[in-house]
Structure 1
């Protein structure tokens, strides 16, 4: 047996050598003519009349082992003209066949179905774009978002290097720089904010169902508006390609804190679908016609339902129309437990408000989008996008405890019922025209409308006494109803012409000049009215009347109002004042006209882009508010010249070295310059009309390597120097209100980022089972001057400060950020079925939320780590299931005041776990 076994091995070895020697090899590289002969991955290589085929790798390379003979190779890629090449194969030899593919002469019959799924939704395709692009940027596509269980854009960008999400909001921090330093676009065109207090729109409202990918540019180039220091988030809407489909998605979801609430109640009135809009009642100062204050018990079980469809249609010999539409509704409940809230804490750590904190909420999102693309011919393409999003947030915040001068015995009680509704309508028209082999003309225009309303926010302050509660009316605003309306319209235009020059011996252009115009025209109208309800003490006092907090309608009603139990007034006065119902208002106008020119040139392995942008900015703000009842206005003008330089050096086929240098600026926002008071729960903010723009200087140096199509290793060093930085600061006053100021002459930040994506284990060459991992880590150091004299002088004494320290960190800046994920992918049933399971972890270290004054320390959000588990399965060609569990560690979210005597806990709570189960069916 031993002899026979050896003989068999020798025989098989000789046969295998013989077979190998009888075969030949066809290999080569495919390149993309439309991208200046960059490598073309994932293209099809097929031997005509056989089943022998291959796909090119990330570097465009392919290899086929075949028997000797004459063949015809077919090279194809979706959207490109197929090419056939004859080839003769000789035994034991390698034949090299390189090929350039072009979109010229493309027709639908040339599409190879196997490649049709390749798009910028795929991780590998986005990594390829990152590798080939001259700009320094990151992108995250629909495939990666699905794998990580991300359902909205704010969650998407928080998975990328150097970015964190602000707790409880959709706002993000890029390299420690918050809302004011960032910008948001959709398909390259700006979109307005849906929040009166924010520059950027809440990214939570954008479902990942509507996006192809999200691009994050942290390095400036002249195509962007100059109000840029942290980064620009560009939401790229789906551009459907492929066969027609119709898909149904449904999901159920719970928050463990919410379902654990024995009595989950919210104010009665708002509809479950989030389209309610309460208005100021008739005769509000002379009659009590306000909505009920009663609470309605809810069953805190959320979910979502969505429909989406897409198809493409051939028009003539060269034309094609592509359509994609989606509509979805989702809702969710949330609760924050074990809550603590302190306010007006002095340097000794003594709190003016020492309360527990309870929070319940119900949120909705209704989204509808239609995208239409018309490829007229190979040289002309037009796209139209329209998107409508309606969101609502209903919240109930309650606190019990000590309030200085109002509840010195610790018997205070505060409740605020809040309902916010916003609807956004985005309309975009974009075009691309190839005027000649050298010249391409791109254009785009948008018209956007945002309406944001706070219809009937209620605020009540009471004291617990023997037998129940009494209303505290020591100050009229202690019990109030608040109505706010914001409407913003924005028109934007992008125009650019790119001209290629300097053709080399291979017929490729080494240089390109791009010149263009950007315009942005924004208008905001804001009004707010607050009705204050003060319990009367004369001629009969009702300040001691016992009330039921859960049925305040028994006290606040028309009968009691007619019997003088309480009075109603605005900040202007009661019904006796002629203009008492005139709301507080402010309006803002922003006009930006910009011209830019970019020159790109390739010096063999080095490519340089030199840009210059000129902008003229005009921002007007006018107001008539409780802080300034006579009204006033303020104008900010700025002309900015913004140079930029980007260098890319190709170390080899898989490695790049990049450098970015630029100058930008940071504008104050409308609400920051309008003299209006913004009331938050236990906190108030007001605007500073003397605020002005900062100037920013930016530096980036990055090394990156792409070992395989879905792998990446990169290291980045960056630095920013900001002149006259703007900060949120506590005003030196008895109320400890917050305002905004240019708090010093300078500020700077420096740091490093590391990103690593790796396929850790593959079972076979078809990748039917594989384990992948990802890790990105960021370290940041920031410092800025804090100068009381500068603030007092520039605000003409209206914003007195007393900074505890002469220097400090940027607000929102974490020293350390970390994202990590581990995914296992398994495929079976002829690739019709699969399962992906992912564990994802996110961590940010301590970060300053507000600068300390009057010997008080900074307010600091303490470090938090979150762990999520995601499982998604495609059971067959049509049916899919998902299970997602987020915030598995359920850490306590804390904010402290870092006093010299020790940290004082200002706020803390737990969010609970969010668990969802979903299914999808595609026809």
Structure 2
């Protein structure tokens, strides 16, 4: 780490010396009425005798010596705009965006001063105002101001957005299956098999240009979203040279220097980077299924003939390798969390107006999390309504997690001229979580006659994403000025879990340790999921006399390969040998019982081989599945003005879906979806005046099950916890959407918006805790219908309207209220009705909060280099899972454990997440920032409520974090 820091500082010194002593003038020229960018606008600077034309994005970029200049922007059929008093400073980028007005006989030229022209702070709102669909967004400038560290955190600022598990976006109360994430317009895959959308925490905020969320569908977007389409834009051609270096260290009041932090004794030399060096990998010999089958079927009958003895010896060495990993843990005191990020870019001006730009970003961080009062409980239900909560699993202990993230992005853009540009980029991100979940205090009252239970899970989970993109933008003169945009992508995502270990050890009265038939014996899991995806698209835009056409095609194919191997301890083959130590004799000591000397071949007596602990290959065929998801699409949309104030966007998209998932052996039912969907879209935009719009939208979209949900594969993450199984019979969901929005832009950086929305679902997909299964199991099912409706309000306001003394203060607030009802399946409803005749036959969508609120109060004084931001986010209790049988449903919220004796909340009124950041810039290039997260010290709580009592299902407290960041930048 120290070497990295020294290298980056040395590089910074070199580039600072090499940096040219000029300034850069840049901006975007748009049609003042429609907001569309204008290509080929003539930009002249008389004082410098310089000029150029705007490029494919309506952008201009010119280097000038320090001084004061005048800019003239002229274009056919538009009034010439003259902007005076533009000040250029050494090494700085000055942005002047220019809206042009259609030419009139009365006025051919408009003269303004630079101080009256919008700046970069309002570019996102301008984009929002002039978009063809309802959208929200957050710029890199705002992300930096608030101090968000990744895309997931940044999304909390968006109206109607919430984050689940710190990674997955929930838009408008709809779980991640109803939202998609794209990077530069190309859909990103999920690196988690149980989710539809990508893990948003994989992309660090330092790599972002902006985040835009489309909330209504237009035909040029993928059709499989309903809540929102999140587009993450990475940096393209820079305006000028820039360099950023950031270092951070943070202290968590629950984790840092906590002596109770647990670690897996198996440690690799690359763990700190998020890679396993092979220390946890599956032994090669265990991949020989024929050998394992032979041993599993006849191990007690094996005699000491040469072939069998050789087989036994090979098996013994393998078992010793597994046993050496064991189930014991080490205690460790973690130090400060740390992070480093580096980014650099420049635009090189070549001959004949050509330019070459590059961006390079590297990000690394390592965080620790300790949850000292970790609770995991599961309940079933009696049919007795007055006292029906029955404990199934009760667990209390700790969880220790070390997370490492290493990412990088490199892009290269080449602008041949104003009409042609190509860009290549590659993004790579790797993250790993090393986790020990340890419950020394627990029980399973129903299964073990009241015995206590020790439960432990040790895991290393690595997620990686590689995204290579090639894009092009062109204006084809031979096609009448048609704009052509194309892209090709190759994406590989992987989730790798080598040697996940699960053990549940019953403790009977008197302190007797023993395994029982009612509980699964200790497991070693080896899981590997790999997705490989190819995609390409082309979009063409043609402007006719009174109508703008956009049309194109898209193709994507994703192939998945998943393998899970399970090896389970076998005690049935253990002989009565004096050298063998049983679990009871070991007094529950994991290290002693699982020692290599207590495993495999212990010796030969009377010519017969004696075995100690051994592992059986317990992998069902469904643990090996493969599949593909192929989507082809074509679309046509038109934009035209019905009147001077009323614009319509009309079109349709046709999507061909081909999904097939099955067990590799060919056994069992295969999950398939083969459909053709026509997805129409109709949007109306009425400009009340030049500062406000009315929007009305009616669209049709869909949601597809992912391959994990279709695969007949069952998995579990903790011994005694509920299993999760796929369903090959799932259907895709069709959704009808209606949206209305009023938006007002009082000043360039201000906004007031009011939105109403309604959605109707056919065959919605839900994750259900089965009410009819003989054992508790989560399953994916289609229900009949569902409805969702809501209202969103957003305000962004400068506070100088109260007093000029508050001119540097800004407030941003948004609130969403959401109501939904999803049909309960008849099988479950009949069971619940027998207990409570008045019970409703519906429930809300999973992960849907009844309300979401965000508040930001910021102070920005660039002259003195001070920034201060308070950020609060709060969401109402959201459905996590339905209760089994007659049990009440499980909800999730941020709260506080007030009843500490029972680890329970006493109210379901949530706590907000409250964060604060203070930043000071000095000496032009340096900055220091203090960030405090979770000031109110909330806990994440999942609970079931019955007769006024809140039964805890899951609790963990992330603690408060205090972070100090140092930054160096050249812009």
Match of 1:487 among 502, 519, 530: 530
Tell me, what secondary structure is at the counterpart of 1:704? strand
- Per-residue CA deviations over 1:328-387 (Å, capped at 9, x if unaligned) read 210100122333221133251111112214211010110111011111101011111100
* Correspondence for 1:390: 430
Change (3 A) 1:553 1:163: farther
* Correspondence for 2:752: 713
Tell me, what secondary structure is at the counterpart of 2:127? helix
* Correspondence for 1:591: 630
* Correspondence for 1:160: 158
Equivalent residue runs for 1:659-678 within 5 Å: 659-678=696-715
Tell me, what secondary structure is at the counterpart of 2:776? coil
User: Any gaps of 5 or more consecutive residues in structure 1?
Assistant: 1-29, 51-59, 61-70, 88-97, 103-113, 503-509, 573-579, 793-801
* Correspondence for 1:874: 921
Change (3 A) 1:283 1:406: farther
Q: Is 2:600 aligned against 1:561?
A: yes
* Correspondence for 2:325: 292
Tell me, what secondary structure is at the counterpart of 1:672? helix
Q: Is 2:780 aligned against 1:747?
A: no
Change (3 A) 1:544 1:501: closer
More strand by share: 1
* Correspondence for 1:274: 274
User: Any gaps of 5 or more consecutive residues in structure 2?
Assistant: 1-27, 49-57, 59-67, 85-97, 103-113, 287-291, 293-314, 383-387, 603-610, 831-836, 894-909
* Correspondence for 2:396: 356
* Correspondence for 1:451: 494
* Correspondence for 2:420: 380
Q: Is 2:449 aligned against 1:413?
A: no
* 1:463 shift after superposition: 3.2
Change (3 A) 1:343 1:589: same
* CA distance in structure 2 between the partners assigned to 1:840 and 1:757 by the alignment: 14
Change (3 A) 1:418 1:443: same
* 1:217 shift after superposition: 0.9
* 1:140 shift after superposition: 0.6
* CA distance in structure 1 between the partners assigned to 2:888 and 2:35 by the alignment: 57
Change (3 A) 1:235 1:85: closer
Q: Is 2:518 aligned against 1:518?
A: no
Change (3 A) 1:338 1:501: same
Tell me, what secondary structure is at the counterpart of 2:628? strand
* CA distance in structure 1 between the partners assigned to 2:518 and 2:756 by the alignment: 53
* Correspondence for 1:22: none
* CA distance in structure 1 between the partners assigned to 2:394 and 2:409 by the alignment: 46
Q: Is 2:967 aligned against 1:920?
A: yes
* Correspondence for 1:183: 180
* 1:462 shift after superposition: 1.6
- Report if aligned partners of 2:776, 2:884 keep a CA contact under 8 Å in 1: no
- Per-residue CA deviations over 1:674-702 (Å, capped at 9, x if unaligned) read 11112123231001111111110001100
- Per-residue CA deviations over 1:146-170 (Å, capped at 9, x if unaligned) read 121211111111211111111x330
Equivalent residue runs for 1:26-65 within 5 Å: 32-33=30-31
Out of 170-179 and 430-439, give the one that drifted further.
430-439
- Per-residue CA deviations over 1:624-677 (Å, capped at 9, x if unaligned) read 58xxx9444232111100100111111011111111110011111101111111
* 1:131 shift after superposition: 1.0
Equivalent residue runs for 1:435-834 within 5 Å: 435-436=476-477, 438-464=481-507, 470=513, 472-474=515-517, 477-502=520-545, 510-536=546-572, 539-540=575-576, 543-547=582-586, 552=591, 555-563=594-602, 564-572=611-619, 584-602=623-641, 603-623=643-663, 630-681=667-718, 682-731=721-770, 732-743=772-783, 745-761=784-800, 770-788=808-826, 805-828=840-863, 833-834=864-865
* CA distance in structure 2 between the partners assigned to 1:72 and 1:822 by the alignment: 36
* CA distance in structure 1 between the partners assigned to 2:435 and 2:489 by the alignment: 33
* CA distance in structure 2 between the partners assigned to 1:719 and 1:368 by the alignment: 40
Tell me, what secondary structure is at the counterpart of 1:593? strand
Change (3 A) 1:455 1:553: farther
Change (3 A) 1:131 1:403: same
Change (3 A) 1:554 1:82: farther
Match of 1:888 among 910, 914, 935: 935
- Report if aligned partners of 1:499, 1:514 keep a CA contact under 8 Å in 2: yes
Change (3 A) 1:33 1:754: closer
- Report if aligned partners of 2:828, 2:885 keep a CA contact under 8 Å in 1: no
* CA distance in structure 2 between the partners assigned to 1:483 and 1:39 by the alignment: 52
- Per-residue CA deviations over 1:10-44 (Å, capped at 9, x if unaligned) read xxxxxxxxxxxxxxxxxxxx96359857699xx99
Change (3 A) 1:791 1:425: farther
* Correspondence for 1:18: none
- Given the two structures, how large is their TM-score scaled by the length of structure 1? 0.82
* 1:559 shift after superposition: 4.3
* CA distance in structure 1 between the partners assigned to 2:234 and 2:360 by the alignment: 11
- Report if aligned partners of 1:337, 1:911 keep a CA contact under 8 Å in 2: no
- Report if aligned partners of 1:468, 1:547 keep a CA contact under 8 Å in 2: no
Change (3 A) 1:550 1:225: farther
* Correspondence for 2:463: 422
Match of 1:434 among 475, 491, 500: 475
* Correspondence for 1:55: none
Change (3 A) 1:610 1:548: farther
Tell me, what secondary structure is at the counterpart of 1:604? coil
- Given the two structures, how large is their TM-score scaled by the length of structure 2? 0.78
* 1:75 shift after superposition: 2.9
Change (3 A) 1:37 1:195: closer
* Correspondence for 2:299: none
- Report if aligned partners of 1:344, 1:736 keep a CA contact under 8 Å in 2: no
Give aligned pairs, total. Answer: 812
- Tell me the C-alpha RMSD between the 2 structures: 3.3
* Correspondence for 2:63: none
* 1:313 shift after superposition: 0.6
- Report if aligned partners of 2:118, 2:748 keep a CA contact under 8 Å in 1: no
* 1:907 shift after superposition: 1.9
- Report if aligned partners of 2:182, 2:229 keep a CA contact under 8 Å in 1: yes
- Report if aligned partners of 2:514, 2:583 keep a CA contact under 8 Å in 1: yes
Change (3 A) 1:151 1:35: farther
Change (3 A) 1:222 1:854: same
Change (3 A) 1:695 1:280: same
* Correspondence for 1:321: 356
* Correspondence for 2:870: 839
* CA distance in structure 1 between the partners assigned to 2:494 and 2:81 by the alignment: 56
- Per-residue CA deviations over 1:126-155 (Å, capped at 9, x if unaligned) read 001111222211111111111212111111
* CA distance in structure 1 between the partners assigned to 2:421 and 2:924 by the alignment: 32
Change (3 A) 1:396 1:222: same
Tell me, what secondary structure is at the counterpart of 1:350? strand
Out of 311-320 and 396-405, give the one that drifted further.
396-405
* 1:465 shift after superposition: 6.3
Change (3 A) 1:764 1:719: closer
